[in-house]
């Protein structure tokens, strides 16, 4: 049995199967995502979801779903499924017998004497999706009817019946070309078989419901447009491929295209291969370069998580050349010492206290796995110097003080990764001396000193060595708090935040730590006791009166819980690194047990990947986006740590 497999009893139980989602993305910024039984439960679900460069260059749902009907002896069996008010219709899930996804998602249906398989493949680097139907068993002549549901709207919006719809279509080889609205790409719907009949019957299907959106407090009903339907006979043992894309294809090449893509797939037949497969999906190539998509299905690029993710993603099968392309893309978009944090172009936001420091950390991990070199300084020295000098002089929201530590102005309390906001106010305000920001600051300077020394840049070394020494001397004085036995989360001129949070672990996990071994052991012990779960680190100790163990409700309620106890798996990578630094080979067994515990998550929520967040309270249910780059990347990095210590 493969790693990712579900049986009939699991699939027909909608309470179970509708919580399992399958994602596939390509390198062109597009993705395909739905539940394992094909019933969309989010507005972000769709079979072909892709950028629209001629419209607004954001992501849009073109093809929402497909309904299929098996026809034998004038009897029709619709194997599709959608949620309408108070009912699911049609109830095609009752015909599902098996689901597997070791290579690509494959559903098996049984209707009387008919056994039909449906395999979905998303094409790499192009806006194309293909579905292969194979008639495994049949005792009489069989016909398949395929009905496409179109949306043509932004992923954050919902489609509504309207008078602006263009119902026209054009015939193309083995299919049609259609477009609901001006400005959109044409959508081609074609088949590998020539004997396909298209019946044009424009219609709206009203009030399709997405219960995940309802749970999240958003609008959840949508009207989808069906232009008509396709019908074709299929023989026992025959395979016919449906193609949907923004380019017309030669139907005689569809089968060859399918097989070529299939051979290039990384199988999900093990935990490690599933992580590797997932890691490859976050790279997004476009006209301006290569980005990392922070998560699916609704996240875009995020500067901080681009750099947190990159080292782990570099261990995947994807070319390390792509990692260099990501660095170059981000560097090209810098403003002074700052990288774009969110948004693109004119809408980009550059307010972040630590993204530039995470960039230097990522360079260490990706380019200097063994030691700093003169070439590192030659390639990146000017950028690193610009960041360090600008942070020392002050950026307007952050500045180095006389003790050589960085201090964030109180008017900017949401510049770290804990930046959730409710009613315009930060839920977890963090300013002043922030623990992980200053750990990253010290690490960046020491890294730069070693690289500059190799390159014989004596002027840089003379300037910055005293600053590094000052940080190491003052770091513990500022952050260590005997009354809690670990580090403060942040310290201002008149306040010390004593809540036990995971950010302090980064002061040990960084390659160059400003903390003594004595204090490092105590921090690791405290984090292990209070924050470690089977899904990563809690953002707040359960003993804190502000702790929230559940991540549920509307947007406000979720944001109130996001950093008040909710588990973020990417922090496990930093805990593992810190723990192994302290306990060396003796710590491998414990870290390996925690790492292996994530294997169970391969068949939960986002199938074959790792969810964005998990609830702080057991059983630590997955929440947020179904696939998050930093979480996948850090698990890959943890595996490399385990291998290194075992080796």
Predicted confidence at residue 297, as pLDDT, reads 95
- CA-wise closest residue to 79 among 97, 63, 91, 71: 91
Question: Running DSSP on this structure, what letter comes out for residue 185?
Answer: P
In sequence order, which residues have a C-beta less than 8 Å from that of residue 647 and are 6 or more positions away?
A: none
CB burial readout 235-266, b (16+ within 10 A) else e: eeeebbbbbbbbeebebeebbebbeebeeeeb
* 48 DSSP β-pair partners: 63
pTM: 0.95
CB burial readout 48-72, b (16+ within 10 A) else e: bbbbbeeeeeebbbbbbbbbbbbbb
- In whole angstroms, what is the distance from residue 203 CA to residue 227 CA? 6
Token digits for 53? Answer: 């460069």
Q: Is the peptide bond before 90 cis (omega within 30 degrees of 0)?
A: yes
In sequence order, which residues have a C-beta less than 8 Å from that of residue 216 and are 6 or more positions away?
A: 554, 555, 558
3-class secondary-structure state, position 97: strand
> Helices 570-583 and 588-597 meet at what angle, rounded to 10?
160
The total number of residues shown for the chain amounts to 647
Residue whose pair of structure tokens reads 């309620």 in the numeric block = 557
Indicate the fold that domain 5-263 takes in CATH.
Answer: Beta-galactosidase; Chain A, domain 5 (2.70.98)
- In whole angstroms, what is the distance from residue 538 CA to residue 572 CA? 10
Radius of gyration of the chain (CA): 26
Residue whose pair of structure tokens reads 């094909």 in the numeric block = 38
Token digits for 629? Answer: 């780059």
Residue whose pair of structure tokens reads 């315009």 in the numeric block = 424
Question: Running DSSP on this structure, what letter comes out for residue 123?
Answer: P
Predicted confidence at residue 518, as pLDDT, reads 96
Task: Classify residue 626 as exposed, middle or buried by CB count within 10 Å of its CB (0-12, 13-18, 19+).
Answer: buried
In tens, the pLDDT along 335-381 reads 999 999 999 888 899 999 999 999 999 999 987 655 677 888 999 99
- CA-wise closest residue to 404 among 455, 444, 456: 444
Predicted confidence at residue 346, as pLDDT, reads 86
- In whole angstroms, what is the distance from residue 307 CA to residue 331 CA? 12
- What are the extents of the domains in the chain? 5-263, 268-331+531-647, 333-518
Residues of the chain with pLDDT under 70: 1-2, 316-320, 368-371
In sequence order, which residues have a C-beta less than 8 Å from that of residue 67 and are 6 or more positions away?
A: 78, 79, 80, 82, 90, 92, 146, 147, 149
- In whole angstroms, what is the distance from residue 374 CA to residue 456 CA? 8
Predicted confidence at residue 367, as pLDDT, reads 73
Predicted confidence at residue 314, as pLDDT, reads 83
Q: What does CATH list as the number for 333-518?
A: 1.50.10.10
């Amino acid at each position: 049995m493969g790693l990712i497999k579900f049986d009939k009893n699991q699939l027909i139980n909608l309470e179970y199967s509708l919580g399992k989602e399958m994602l596939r993305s390509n390198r062109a910024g597009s993705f395909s995502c739905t539940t394992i039984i094909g019933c969309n439960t989010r507005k972000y679900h769709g079979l072909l979801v892709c950028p629209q460069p001629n419209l607004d260059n954001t992501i849009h749902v073109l093809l929402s779903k497909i309904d299929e009907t098996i026809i034998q002896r004038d009897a029709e069996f619709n194997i599709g499924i959608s949620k309408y008010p108070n009912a699911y219709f049609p109830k095609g899930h009752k015909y599902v017998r098996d689901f597997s996804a070791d290579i690509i998602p494959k559903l098996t249906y049984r209707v009387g004497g008919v056994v039909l398989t449906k395999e979905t493949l998303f094409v790499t680097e192009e806006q194309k999706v293909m579905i292969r139907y194979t008639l495994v068993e049949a005792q009489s002549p069989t016909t398949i009817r395929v009905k496409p549901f179109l949306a043509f709207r932004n992923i954050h919006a919902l489609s509504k019946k309207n008078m602006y719809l263009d119902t026209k279509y054009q015939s193309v080889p083995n299919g049609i070309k259609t477009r609901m609205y001006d400005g959109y790409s044409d959508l081609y719907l074609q088949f590998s078989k020539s004997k396909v009949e298209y019946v044009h019957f424009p219609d709206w299907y009203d009030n399709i419901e997405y219960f995940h959106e309802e749970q999240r407090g958003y609008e959840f009903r949508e009207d989808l447009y069906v232009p008509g339907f396709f019908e074709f006979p299929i023989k026992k043992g025959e395979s016919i491929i449906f193609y949907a894309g923004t380019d017309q294809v030669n139907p005689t090449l569809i089968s060859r295209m399918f097989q070529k893509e299939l051979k290039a797939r990384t199988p999900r037949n093990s935990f490690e291969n599933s992580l590797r497969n997932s890691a490859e999906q976050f790279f997004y190539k476009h006209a301006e370069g290569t980005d990392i998509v922070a998560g699916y299905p609704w996240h875009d690029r995020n500067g901080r998580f681009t750099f947190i993710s990159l080292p782990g993603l570099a261990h995947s099968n994807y070319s390390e050349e792509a990692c260099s392309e990501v660095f170059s893309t981000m560097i090209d978009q810098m403003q002074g010492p700052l990288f774009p944090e969110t948004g693109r172009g004119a809408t980009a936001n550059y307010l972040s206290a630590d993204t530039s420091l995470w960039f230097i950390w990522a360079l260490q991990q990706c380019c200097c796995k063994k030691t700093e070199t003169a070439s590192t300084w030659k390639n990146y020295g000017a950028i690193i110097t610009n960041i360090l000098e600008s942070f020392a002089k002050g950026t307007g929201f952050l500045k180095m003080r006389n003790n050589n530590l960085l201090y964030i102005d109180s008017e900017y309390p949401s510049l770290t990764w804990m930046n959730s906001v409710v009613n315009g106010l930060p839920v977890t305000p963090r300013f002043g001396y922030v623990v992980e920001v200053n750990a990253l600051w010290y690490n960046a300077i020491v890294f730069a000193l070693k690289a500059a020394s190799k390159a014989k840049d004596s002027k840089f070394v003379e300037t910055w060595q005293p600053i590094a020494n000052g940080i190491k001397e003052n770091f513990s004085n500022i952050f260590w708090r005997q009354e809690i036995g670990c580090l403060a989360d942040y310290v201002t001129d008149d306040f010390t935040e004593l809540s036990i949070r995971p950010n302090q672990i980064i002061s040990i996990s960084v390659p160059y730590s400003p903390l003594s071994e004595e204090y490092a052991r105590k921090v690791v012990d405290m984090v292990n006791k209070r924050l470690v779960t089977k899904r990563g680190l809690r953002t707040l100790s359960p003993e804190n009166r502000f702790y929230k163990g559940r991540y549920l409700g509307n947007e406000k309620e979720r944001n109130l819980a996001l950093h008040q106890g909710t588990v973020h798996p990417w922090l496990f990578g930093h805990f593992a690194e810190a723990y192994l630094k302290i306990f060396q080979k003796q710590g491998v067994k414990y870290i390996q047990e925690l790492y292996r515990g994530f294997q169970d998550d391969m068949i939960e929520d986002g199938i074959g990947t790792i969810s964005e967040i998990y609830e702080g309270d057991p059983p630590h249910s997955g929440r947020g986006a179904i696939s998050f780059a930093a979480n996948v990347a850090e698990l890959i990095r943890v595996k490399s740590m385990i291998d290194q210590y075992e080796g």
